Amino acid sequence: MVAESTEKFERWTIGAIRDALIAKRVSARELAEDYFARIARENPKLNAFLALSPERAFAQAARVDAMVASGEVLPALAGVPIAIKDVISTHGVTTTCGSHILENYVPAYDATAVALLESAGAVMLGKTNCDEFAMGSSNENSAYGPVHNPVALDRVPGGSSGGSAAAVAAGLAVAALGTDTGGSIRQPGGFCGIPALMPTYGRVSRYGLIALASSLDRIGPFTTTVRDAAEVMNVISGRDLNDATSADTEVPDYTAALGESVEGLRIGIPREYFGPGMDPAVRHNIEVGIGALEKLGCKTVELDMPHTGYAIAVYYILMTAEASSNLARFDGVRYGPRDVGDGTLMGMYRATRGHKFGDEVKRRIVLGTYVLSAGYYDAYYRKAQQVRALITRDFEDAFKKVDLIVTPTSPAPAFKLGEKTDDPLAMYLADIYTVTGNLSGMTAISVPCGLTPEGLPVGLQIFGPHFGEARVLQLAHAFEQTTNVN
């Protein structure tokens, strides 16, 4: 059995909250009070929240309760307590990116995704812990201490969106936003045992997201049910004139296909995702999961995606290159603390960055600057962009033959805190099944796929083609129903 876990709270879903508000069984204010009380009890064990925003939450709850009182039609997420990863800007609420270099940063505007959630009636409880600038797979790179996995407190929650995953899994929020650059939504979702969706590149606006790697970053939801993930996607998807990379593609109702039969869906099983190095318990659960999909009438098709094995190498070149460029703006001039250094402008830049960035951030800036520097650009950066095209082609070819692709989310379940902190490369390999989705721009979800004999959650990953979220959610929902029955 697993080590100590957190208290079990009543689980609210978005639909249950809507029904309870309309029936006046609960008010938005009472819900917010209940969730802040849960956070006060459990957060000292988890370290999932870095900042709380009770004023903003109770003001929003009051607006929702006024709508209920006047009998207005409630917006989609009325009264739903949510949490936001601390790399996403929130007007007036500290946004640290898990870093000392932004320890006192208070944004002057809201990210579009946050504004959309609040326009739909969601009640923001606060900001969640994460690896510094979303760089990590365990949440151990936060300047504010690691997050503990609510399932087993001596284990990591995954990363980089570990606080968001832990908050939802522990019942401290009904939904949370995370960000995914190489697996940072799906992997912690898998480790904490909840659904976690990475939308297609361009599906959700990133305006107000403090960027790690602009060609890879996505914003997406953590929820306790697949239906709730669909409800959140309905609200946050769509074109935003403040984000030129957001797509002008129609947003369907993501709940519409939930519950429809998945019989006849062609599911690709890529051999490269089932090679050596996978934990036997993970392999067992995923095989059982694939069997459950076959029982639902899905047709499984073995696939080859021959460039999968190059993905981590491509990822760590392109991501660090983009990160070194994006993080150039943190220099002590406009935000965050300033370290004056030797008193010169250059000395101030060097001291502020050298002293306020953490270890992993500096490692990635050095690597990213190196691969972009004269003499190495073609050998590393250009080469990686070429192989990225080949990895994307693997997916395009696959989606000519199948509707969706199923793999494990991670090669192993949640590891112990401190287990991998000394070896960056070993940590990077935890993302081996997820980075391909970021490189290719595809969408993917991690859904719970049972527990290991030790009691640790396993995640099953479902990839869909560009803008294929509706189909991904449909299969994830059907799969969720079978695992609930068992």
Partner 1 sequence: MKISREEVLRVAELAHLELSEAEVAKYLTQLDSILEYAAKLNSLDTSNVEPMTQVVAGLTSAHGDLNPTFREDVVVPCDISREVLERAPDAAPPYFRVPKVIER
Pairing, β 196-198 against β 123-128? unpaired
Distance of alpha carbon 430 from alpha carbon 435, whole angstroms: 10
- Does 302 bind partner 1 (CB under 8 A)? Our answer is no
Q: Which of 153, 310, 482, 483 binds partner 1 (CB under 8 A)?
A: 310
Report in angstroms how near the CB of residue 334 gets to partner 1 at its nearest.
6
Site for partner 1 in 99-158 (CB under 8 A): 104-106, 108-109
Report in angstroms how near the CB of residue 355 gets to partner 1 at its nearest.
7
Considering only CA atoms, which of 455, 407, 432, 445 is closest in space to residue 254?
445
- Does 421 bind partner 1 (CB under 8 A)? Our answer is no
Positive or negative CA dihedral for 66, 69, 70, 74? positive
Q: Respond yes or no: is residue 261 known to be catalytic.
A: no
| Residue nearer to partner 1 on the CB measure, 195 or 341 | 341
Distance of alpha carbon 194 from alpha carbon 208, whole angstroms: 26
- Counting residues that bind partner 1 (by CB under 8 A) gives 76
Site for partner 1 in 353-382 (CB under 8 A): 353-355, 357, 359, 362-363, 365-367, 369-370, 373, 380, 382
**In 3-state terms, what secondary structure has residue 411?**
coil
Distance of alpha carbon 386 from alpha carbon 348, whole angstroms: 38
Tokens matching residue 203? 């599906």
Report in angstroms how near the CB of residue 321 gets to partner 1 at its nearest.
12
Q: Which of 119, 245, 261, 481 binds partner 1 (CB under 8 A)?
A: 245
Set 5, 89, 160, 410: catalytic member: 160
Q: Which of 178, 182, 332, 448 binds partner 1 (CB under 8 A)?
A: 332
- Does 22 bind partner 1 (CB under 8 A)? Our answer is no
Q: Respond yes or no: is residue 160 known to be catalytic.
A: yes
Instruction: List the strands of the sheet with 81-85, edge to edge.
Output: 49-52, 123-128, 81-85, 175-180, 218-223, 196-198, 443-451, 457-464, 404-408, 266-270, 299-303
x-marked contacts with partner 1 along 250-269 as a string, rule CB under 8 A: x-------------------
Report in angstroms how near the CB of residue 52 gets to partner 1 at its nearest.
20
- Which secondary-structure segment (H or E) carries 352? helix 345-356
Considering only CA atoms, which of 87, 414, 144, 452 is closest in space to residue 283?
452
Phi, psi of 63 (to 5 degrees): -60, -45
- Does 59 bind partner 1 (CB under 8 A)? Our answer is no
- Does 466 bind partner 1 (CB under 8 A)? Our answer is yes
Pairing, β 49-52 against β 457-464? unpaired
Q: Respond yes or no: is residue 324 known to be catalytic.
A: no
Considering only CA atoms, which of 466, 443, 480, 477 is closest in space to residue 257?
477
| Residue nearer to partner 1 on the CB measure, 36 or 463 | 463
Site for partner 1 in 387-406 (CB under 8 A): 387-390, 392
Report in angstroms how near the CB of residue 220 gets to partner 1 at its nearest.
16
* Residues designated as active site: 85, 160, 184
